[in-house]
Chain A
Amino acid sequence: MQNKTQEFKEIYNKHRSKIYKLCFGYAGNADLAKDLLQDTFIKVWENLDKFRNESAISTWIYRIAVNTCLSYLRSEKNKPKDPLSDFILETKPEEINEKNQQVALLYKCINQLEENDRMIITMVLDEVEYLDIAQVFGISEGNLRVKIHRIKQKLTEIYNYHARL
């Protein structure tokens, strides 16, 4: 048990930032992202004994996170809020610089993509291997490449459109 706890803590500290960003990109607000992060790692803890090293642990955690996000937002009451206003509300005034605004806008643009696309692009931005992303979503690498190409174009278009406003 002690070993499992230790192993879990190491896994959590190593992966929480990336999973949080995935959840934030998907959910669109910090509170919900924290809830999703928490739910994801509760499931990681509960399934840790079943993890068989068939894939990288990061891929396995990403799959749990993706399923957690999709399951959570399936219910009508948990519609995402506007990420830009949330992000700014949570940031101290002196920290609202150009960089933060750009990042907030990026989150907002990601939030306008379709559910699966949001998570795929978040993983691409975090430089997760294509093979791992394909495994998480259960699709072929070829199919994924086509999708990523399309999502990149779409995200860039949305971002540049909003940046011009």
Chain B
Amino acid sequence: MQDFEALKKMWQLNQEQQAMPEANDILLQVSNTKNVLAKNLLKAVWQLIPAMVIVILIAVFIKFVNIITYVGIILVLVSIVVYGAALIWHYFNLSKDYSTLKPADYLKVIQHQYEIRKKFNQIGGYLYSLILYIGSMLYLVEVTAHVTPLWQWFGFIITTVWFLYVVFVLSKKVIAYENQKFEDIITQLKKLNQQLET
């Protein structure tokens, strides 16, 4: 039978030195970690640039008669910019470090973030899709003016189906996945806090 003091002695006598990384290895890892974050952000922004350039080129080099077409193009551009801003905001949030917070404070931060994301997903997501949809529809009015009404309606219907799919299927799946992740973290944090309270 060992009492706690015997276990403590055993622990403290255990000077077995494991091969631990050196300080320089950690410093090297610091720069690598930052590079990965920056690289991901850059990659996401780079992916937006071609779409933006194409829309701008269309607006500049193709002469449209109807002012509504230009309104449509501007709305599409606005949605791309809004998406880009949301992306940057998301990365800033990701790179924030909460490791020095107390467990209870960390729970509050996560819960607050969850509320913000929920509001953003509910309102922002729909608004973003709606702007993109209206922009695309306005653009299609003039672009499809010279085709037969059948093809024109085909274009409108395809755009509408795509919009409905994004809003009611795709974004719902993405939001549900994100909410699940947040709820898992919050449940775990609550469990950990309960351990501290009892």
Residues of B within 8 A of A93 (CB): none
Q: For the complex, is B54 an interface residue (Cβ under 8 Å from A)?
A: no
Decide yes or no whether B148 CB sits under 8 A from chain A: no
Contact B100 A138 (CB under 8 A): no
Which residues in A have their C-beta under 8 angstroms from that of B8?
124-125
A163 in the interface (beta carbon within 8 A): yes
Chain B, residues 12-42, CB within 8 Å of chain A (1/0): the string is 1110111011010111011001000000000
Q: Is the CB of B29 within 8 A of A42?
A: yes
Task: State which residues 99-147 of B face A: CB under 8 Å.
Answer: 99-106
Contacts of B12 in A (CB 8 A): 125-127
Please indicate the chain B residues that have their CB under 8 angstroms from the CB of A64 in the complex.
Answer: 99-100
Nearest residue in B to A68 (C-beta to C-beta)?
B99
| Cβ of A41 under 8 Å from chain B | yes
User: How many angstroms between the C-alpha atoms of A138 and B100 in the bound complex?
Assistant: 11
- Whether A145 is near chain B, meaning CB under 8 Å from some CB there, is no
Q: Is the CB of B7 within 8 A of A67?
A: no
A2 within 8 A of B: no
Measured between beta carbons, the chain B residues less than 8 angstroms from A155 are 4, 7
Residue from the list A24, A71, A156 in contact with B4, Cβ < 8 A:
A156
The stretch among B60-68, B156-164, B188-196 that forms the contact with chain A is B188-196
The answer to whether B154 has its CB under 8 Å from any CB of chain A is: no
Which of A38, A60, A70, A147 is the one whose CB lies under 8 Å from B26? A38
Is A53's CB within 8 Å of the partner chain B? no
Chain A interface mostly? helix
Contact with B along A113-133 (1 / 0, CB 8 A): 011110000001111000000
Q: Which residues in B have their C-beta under 8 angstroms from that of A138?
A: 102-105, 196
Q: Which residues of A contact B11 (CB under 8 A)?
A: 103, 106, 125-126
Instruction: Return the chain B residue nearest A135 by Cβ.
Output: B102
- Let me know if B91 is at the binding interface, CB within 8 A: no
Note all chain A residues with C-beta closer than 8 A to B101. 67
**Given A38-B29, A117-B195, A103 contacting B14 (CB threshold 8 A):** yes
Contact between A74 and B105 (Cβ–Cβ < 8 Å)?
A: no
Q: Are A67 and B2 in contact (CB under 8 A)?
A: no
CA distance A127 to B5 in the complex (A): 11
Nearest CB in chain A: distance from B114 CB, A: 15
Q: Are A45 and B14 in contact (CB under 8 A)?
A: no
User: A159 to nearest B CB, angstroms?
Assistant: 6
Complex partner residue of B97 from A17, A38, A43, CB under 8 angstroms: A43
A37 adjacent to B99 (CB under 8 Å): no
Q: Is A102 an interface residue (CB 8 A)?
A: yes
- Least CB separation from A5: chain B residue: B27
Contact of B13 among A17, A33, A99 (CB under 8 A): A99
Residues of A within 8 A of B (CB): 5, 8-9, 12-13, 16-17, 20, 24, 30, 33-34, 37-38, 41-43, 45-47, 50, 60, 63-64, 66-68, 70-71, 74, 90, 99-100, 102-103, 106, 114-117, 124-127, 137-139, 143, 147, 152, 155-156, 159-160, 163
A-B contact pairs, 13 of them (CB 8 A): A8-B23, A16-B20, A24-B18, A45-B27, A47-B100, A67-B101, A70-B103, A103-B10, A115-B195, A116-B196, A117-B195, A137-B196, A147-B196
